[in-house]
Every structure is written in structure tokens, then in C-alpha cells.
Structure 1
């Protein structure tokens, strides 16, 4: 070794000790909630922290395209398409909830997570989100065309106006148009529009539809943007 040179730090044993400590703490934590259930306040605090952490990670994975690489490594190939910023938030939120349910039902309460496998709990949660991504992404691909082509909230409110003021024939025609719109968008979008029209808040809609308020807001914002961009003759 050259004079004055300092030896490189040996981090291996320290890292192994840190991992062992994390796994032990996770094991104690998991055992506690397996025995007592998830109704107590301590779980709510942990859940909020976990979802905040997961949303940051999942959003970055989707935004960077790394999510697709992770899926490929697990044998789940997907046709990657460009994803806009609003759509990234939407996708990440849905993936987060699906991953959370998988994490709780299979890993935590279902007993599939164990410290012996050497994976800390937060990493296990992120992997649950990765496993949930393909189904969410395929649904997003299927519905993307509908979200981009139809007027959403504007159509709904205008049909209600037609029903109140127009002839019976116009009312039937208008409702047929909306039925076609809802068929194109799917049941989830149909439900979101009805709830929004009935005055439910974003938080309430998110709870009902198992989304985050951020995802609900993004969907409604995108719908209104689409409606504003339509020519007057198409409204």
C-alpha cells in the first residue's frame, strides 16, 4: 500500500449486522400484528408511513421505466408505452393500493413473509407493488383510449339538463350517448362520475373506489381538460 494511503472501509460485516437488526425488528413487528390484528392505532400510523414510502418508490419506478425492467426480471413482459405525468400519478396510486392489499393479505396476515427469507418488510412491500403492476397497467392500457376521446363530467351534467328541459326523444338519445360513453370507459369510471356528480369529496370517492385522493383528483382533472378541449360543436 502506498505511503499515506488509507485502507478502504470494510462495510460488509456492518451491513450484515444492520440487515439482521432490521429483520429482527420487522419480525417482532409482524408477530405483534398477526396476533392482535390491524385495528389498533399503531397499525394506522405504520400503514400511513408505508403508503407514503411506497408511493414515492412506485412513482419513481413508473416514471423512470424501471418498473418494466423489474417486471421483466420476474418473467412478466409488458408493452411499454409513454406515460404522462398525470397518468404516472394515477398508475402509481392504483399500483400502491393493489400492492398494499397483496402485502397485507399474503405477506402479513397470510404468513408468507418471514425474516428467514432475508428481505426487510419495506422491500417486501415494494416487491408486492411490482407484482401488482402488470394487471393495473394492462387495465390502464385498455381504458386509455376511452379517457382520451370522450367528454366525461361535461357529458354527464349536460344529459341531466337535457332530461329536465328537452323533449322525450332528445332525452332518450342523450341517455343512449352516455350509456355508450360509460360502456367505453368501464364500470369504475362510471362509478366515479356518479359519485362526483352526487357531491362526494375526493377523499370519500377514494375510500369507496380504493384509490388515493390524489388519483381521484387526477382522473377528474383529466376529464375536465378533455371536455374543455372539445370543439363547441361536439359538446
Structure 2
């Protein structure tokens, strides 16, 4: 136990020196760049695991933020975790570092404080996701995915039919959220505009569209 207590104390001392330097630098410089990249990477790994396992709901409850747990598809879990980490990082910087809420005296290691900030951010991220799921449930989606691969403009009518069937199958294989994102994108909406409509961040929109196109393209190739 003493060894464990000593290691914990050493960890807090190191964190204290680091935080003092980061505050004095105004969260800028090479050390800050290295620190925040590593922190985001570790945080995303941990929070993704919490979301996929459902443990994040219990963690939220311990902070007095009770949520109605809903099954989250695995492909959505990473996006929810990513958004929670992004928003948690803002809380971490504004409250913990610049706001000086974090201190050695409170006895919580810096990375644990960051994960807790992500957990605190999760309820808003999760509620926005639920709102999107509910609001899109009644939306009529197109039955084709002509923008996946341009339908054969030259060749026989049979070629065009085969191409369209492959596109339709690929489109149907996507989740409703991903279909909706692709439709908005193909209708000319920018990532920022889609983010505003769907209550996502532009970065999350860009990532989802890229992954949705990859999934659809792979499925289309398999159908041909």
C-alpha cells in the first residue's frame, strides 16, 4: 500500500510541475503540442471503450447525470466517443488548466481528470445523438445512391442497370444517419452546414462522410 501511495504522490507531483509549465506558457509551445496530442489519443481509447461497453452511463450516473441507456451501434460508438473527447478537452482546458480547477491538492491525476471531463461532456453528446435518431426516423430517404459511383454514362443499358443495382445495395447497407449525411453532402451542403443541421462538429461530419463512402464503395464492389 505504501508503494502505491508513493507512486500516486510522485505522479501528482509530476503532473503539478507539468500543469504549472502549461499554464505559464498559455497552452502553447512544443510541450503543449506533444502533451495534448498524447492526452487526446489516450482519452479517445478509454472513452471509446466506455461507450462501447455501456460503462459510460454508470460513470455519468456517479456524477449525477442520469441517462436513459440506448443501444449504440459500434460504428456510432466511436463517433460519440470522439465528440465527447473533443468537448471534454474544452472543459479540461477551460476549467482544469486555465480555470485552475485542477490542483495537486485535490489528489486526482491529470489524465483521470481529463477522462472525467469527457464523461461530463458525454450527456450532451448523447442527447444530441438521440435527437438525431428520433428526428430522422420518419425522414424518407432516396432509394438510390447515384453519387457513390457515377452511373455508367456510356455502354449498354444492361451495364447501367447493373451499376445502379450495385449502388442501391450499397446505399441500403448504410445506417440511416450515414445515408442522411451523404444525401445532404450530395445536395451541396457544406460540412459546416451539415454540422449545424445534424448537431455534429464539422470534423465529425467530414469523418462520417469519408467512412460512409468507404463502406458503401466496398459493398458496391462486392455486389458487382
TM-score bin, normalised by smaller chain: 0.5 to 0.7
Where do 4+ consecutive residues of structure 1 move more than 3 Å? 147-152, 154-157, 190-201, 209-216, 219-226
* Structure with larger RCO (C-alpha < 8 A, sep 6+): 1
User: CA 1:148–1:91 in 2, change beyond 3 Å: closer, same or farther?
Assistant: farther
Contact 1:102 1:128 in 2 (8 A): yes
Contact 1:94–1:136 (Cα < 8 Å) also in 2: yes
Q: CA RMSD in A?
A: 3.8
- 1:129 is matched with which residue? 118
What is the TM-score with the length of structure 1 in the denominator? 0.64
The alpha carbon displacement at 1:60 in A equals 0.5
Structure 1 match to 2:69: 80
Asked whether the 8 Å contact 1:89–1:218 carries over to 2, the reply is no
Report deviation, 1:85: 1.1
Q: How many Å separate the matches in 2 of 1:144 and 1:47?
A: 32
Aligned pair partner of 2:99 in 110, 124, 128: 110
Distance 1:222 1:199 in 2: 16
How do 1:60-99 residues align onto structure 2 when only pairs under 5 Å count? 60-99=49-88
Relative to structure 1, is the Cα distance of residues 110 and 210 closer, same or farther in structure 2, using a 3 angstrom cutoff?
farther
SS at match of 1:76: coil
- Aligned residue number for residue 208 of structure 2: 218
Tell me what 2:45 maps to: 56
Structure 2 distance, partners of 1:48, 1:196, is 33
Gaps of 5+ in 2: 148-179, 220-224
Q: Report the Cα distance in structure 1 between the residues aligned to 2:115 and 2:109, rounded to whole angstroms.
A: 10
Residues 92, 114 of structure 2: 8 Å contact kept: yes
**Equivalent residue, structure 2, for 1:45:** 34
Change (3 A) 1:199 1:42: farther
| Alpha-carbon separation, structure 2, partners of 1:18 and 1:98 | 30
Residue 170 of structure 1 corresponds to none
In structure 2, the CA distance between the partners of 1:116 and 1:78, relative to structure 1 (3 Å rule), is: same
Q: What is the CA deviation profile of residues 125-179 of structure 1, one whole-angstrom value per residue up to 9, with x for unaligned ones?
A: 0000011111110000001242894548x8997xxxxxxxxxxxxxxxxxxxxxx
Give the match for residue 25 of structure 2. Answer: 36
**Unmatched segments (≥5 aa) in structure 1:** 1-11, 158-189, 230-235
SS in 2 for 1:61: helix
Given the superposition, is the C-alpha separation of residues 214 and 109 from structure 1 closer, same or farther in structure 2, using an over 3 Å criterion? Answer: same
Shift of 1:93: 0.5
Counterparts of 1:10-29 in structure 2, within 5 Å, are 12-29=1-18
In structure 1, distance between residues paired with 2:118 and 2:205: 16
